Amino acid sequence: MLFAVRMDVVLPLDLDPGLRDELLATEKAYSQKLQREGKWLHLWRVVGEYSNLSVFDVSDNGELHDLLWNLPLFKYMSVSVTPLAQHPSALAG
């Protein structure tokens, strides 16, 4: 199943710099692991915002839920999820 996911990140201004660096490094490693596994297909930055638009390919809603909840930055995110389906006018590929 394909899902489009928008993630908006708001880190607290008073977050300890060491913790911030650790969270960012762990987040990067986890997201790259999911990309290598073929679960996180696309990762796009939203220009001018601390946000991204991503496409996930997972077996079901539960798997996506678990992947998102395990993001180290999840508690600092606002997340919106949109299920995707093939459009009949899309070129096959």
CATH 3.90.180.10 fits 2-84, yes or no: no
**Interstrand relation of 2-9 and 40-45 (parallel, antiparallel or unpaired):** unpaired
Average pLDDT score, the chain? 97
Whether the CB-CB separation of 26 and 18 falls below 8 Å is answered with: no
pLDDT in tens, 38-57: 999 999 999 999 999 999 99
DSSP summary character for residue 46: P
What pLDDT was estimated at residue 93? 56
**What are the backbone angles phi and psi of residue 67, rounded to the nearest 5°?**
-60, -45
* pLDDT over 60 (residue 76): yes
DSSP summary character for residue 49: S
Hey, where are the domains in the chain?
2-84
pLDDT band at 92 (very low <50, low <70, confident <90, very high): confident
